[in-house]
Amino acid sequence: MTDVAVPPAVKPDSIDTYGLVVHEWARRLARALASTDAVAAAGLFRPDGVVRDLLALSWDFRNAIGYEEIFELFAIPPAHRLMSIDVKPGSQSIIVEDGTPGTVSAFLQFRNSTGRGLGHVRLVQEGDGTWLAESLVLALDAVDSHPERHLDGRPSGKTHGPVRNRLGWQEGLDPEFTQQEPDVVILGAGHNGLMLAARLRALGIPALVLERNERVGDNWRKRYSSLALHTPLASDHLPYLPFPSTWPRFTPKDKLGDFLESYATLLDLAVWTGTTVIAADFDQPSRRWTVDVSRQGQHRRINPKHLIFATGMNAAPNIPDVPGRSVFPGTVMHAVDYKGHAEWRGKRAVVVGSGVSGHDIAQDLAEHGVDVTMIQRSGTFVMNTSTFHKVMHANHVSGRYSIEEADLVNASTPFGALPAHGPKHVELVKAMDRELLEGLVEAGFELSDGPDGQGVLGLIFGLNGTGYYYNAGASELIIDGTIKLLHGSVEGLSPSGVMLDGARSLNADLVVFATGYQGAPSVVREVLGDDIADRVGEFAMVGPDREYGRLWRRTGVDQLWFMVSLGIGDGRFYSKLLALQLAAMEAGIMPVAEPNG
Q: Whole-angstrom Cα distance, residue 407 to residue 71?
A: 26
Task: Round to whole Å and give the CA distance between 8 and 100.
Answer: 10
Residue 565 has pLDDT above 70, yes or no: yes
- Residue 366: name the closest of 220, 454, 473, 276 by CA: 473
The reply to whether 430 and 335 lie within a common domain is: yes
Please state the rounded mean pLDDT for residues 301-308.
98
- Higher pLDDT: 157 or 316? It is 157
- Looking at the domain assignment, is residue 369 inside a domain? yes
pLDDT tens per residue across span 367-389: 999 999 999 999 999 999 999 99
457 by DSSP, 3-state: which?
helix
Judge if 200 and 301 occupy the same domain. yes
> How confident is the model over 192-202, as pLDDT tens digits?
999 999 999 99
Q: What is the pTM of this model?
A: 0.94
- Return all residues near 47 (Cβ < 8 A) that are at least 6 apart: 66, 67
> From CA 15, how far away is CA 442, in angstroms rounded?
52
Residue 156 has pLDDT above 60, yes or no: yes
Q: Which residues pair with 333 in a beta bridge?
A: 512
Q: Is the pLDDT of residue 426 over 80?
A: yes
Q: Are residues 356 and 374 in the same domain?
A: yes
Shared-domain flag, residues 95 and 210: no
Closest CA to 238 of 565, 586, 520: 565
Shared domain check, 234 and 349:
no
| High-pLDDT (> 90) share of the chain, % | 83
- pLDDT at residue 98 in the model: 66
Which tops the pLDDT comparison, 99 or 16? 16
- For 577, the domain range is 177-315+519-587
Residue 390 makes CB contacts below 8 A (sequence gap 6+) with: 5, 397, 432
**What mean pLDDT is reported for the chain?**
93
CA angle 174, 175, 179 (to 5 degrees): 40
pLDDT digits over 221-254, tens only? 999 888 999 999 999 999 999 999 999 999 999 9
Residues 301 and 346 in one domain: no
463-473 pLDDT tens trace: 888 899 999 99
Task: List Cα–Cα distances, 31 to 35, 40, 289, 464, in angstroms.
Answer: 6, 9, 44, 40
Q: Is residue 157 part of a domain?
A: no
**CA-CA distance, 200 to 209, in Å (whole number)?**
11
Answer yes or no: is 148 within a domain: no
Task: Specify whether 262 is located in the same domain as 406.
Answer: no
At 6, is the pLDDT very low, low, confident or very high (cuts 50, 70, 90)? very low
* CATH code, domain with 16: 3.10.450.50
Residue 520 scores a pLDDT above 80: no
438 shares a domain with 355: yes
| Closest to 519 in 3D by CA, of 282, 315, 279, 305 | 315
Higher pLDDT, 446 or 517: 446
| Per-residue pLDDT at 392 exceeds 70 | yes
CATH of the domain at 247: 3.50.50.60
The neighbouring-strand residues paired with 228 are 252
The pLDDT confidence band at residue 10, using thresholds 50, 70 and 90, is very low
Same domain, 308 and 394: no
What is the end-to-end Cα distance of the chain in Å, rounded?
Answer: 34
**Domains held by the chain: number:** 3
Q: What is the mean pLDDT of residues 435-459?
A: 97
Per-residue model confidence (pLDDT) at position 15? 54
CA distance 434 to 314: 32
| Residue 65 confidence (pLDDT) | 98
CA dihedral for 196, 199, 203, 209, sign (positive or negative): positive
pLDDT tier for residue 517 given thresholds of 50, 70 and 90:
confident
pLDDT digits (tens, 9 = 90+) for 244-294: 999 999 999 999 999 999 999 999 999 999 999 999 999 999 999 999 999
Residue 596 counted as domain residue: no
Sign (positive or negative) of CA dihedral 183, 187, 192, 195: positive
Higher-scoring residue by pLDDT: 314, 233: 233
Confidence of residue 136 (pLDDT cuts 50, 70, 90): very high
- pLDDT over 70 (residue 11): no
Whether 422 and 558 map to the same domain: the answer is no
Do 528 and 509 have their domain in common? Answer: no
Q: Domain boundary residue among 88, 123, 143? A: 143
Angstrom CA distances, 37 to 30, 75, 102, 122, stand at 10, 7, 27, 22
Residue with the larger pLDDT of the pair 314 and 96: 96
Is 167 within the bounds of a domain? Answer: no
Residues 2 and 5: their CA atoms lie apart, in Å, by: 10
Domain boundary among 120, 143, 166: 143
Which of 92, 123, 143 is a domain's end point?
143
Q: Is residue 150 part of a domain?
A: no
What is the average per-residue pLDDT within 67-78? 96
What's the rounded Cα separation, in Å, for the pair 183 and 427? 49
- Judged by DSSP in three states, 337 sits in helix
Q: Give, as one character, the DSSP assignment of residue 370.
A: -
Is residue 322 located within the same domain as residue 197?
Answer: no
CB 571 within 8 A of CB 565: yes
C-alpha span between 352 and 22 (Å, rounded): 54
pLDDT tier, 7 (very low <50, low <70, confident <90, very high otherwise): very low
How far is 316 from 333, CA to CA, in rounded Å?
13
Q: Give the whole-angstrom CA distance, residue 337 versus residue 560.
A: 30
Q: Say if residue 530's pLDDT is above 90.
A: yes
Say if residue 211's pLDDT is above 60: yes
Amino acid occupying residue 470: Y
10 Å Cβ neighbour count for 196? 29
Q: Is the separation of the CB atoms in 306 and 507 below 8 Å? A: no
pLDDT of residue 13: 44
The answer on pLDDT for 366 being more than 90 is yes
pLDDT of 100 > 70? The answer is no
Does residue 54 form part of some domain?
yes
Within-domain flag for 467: yes
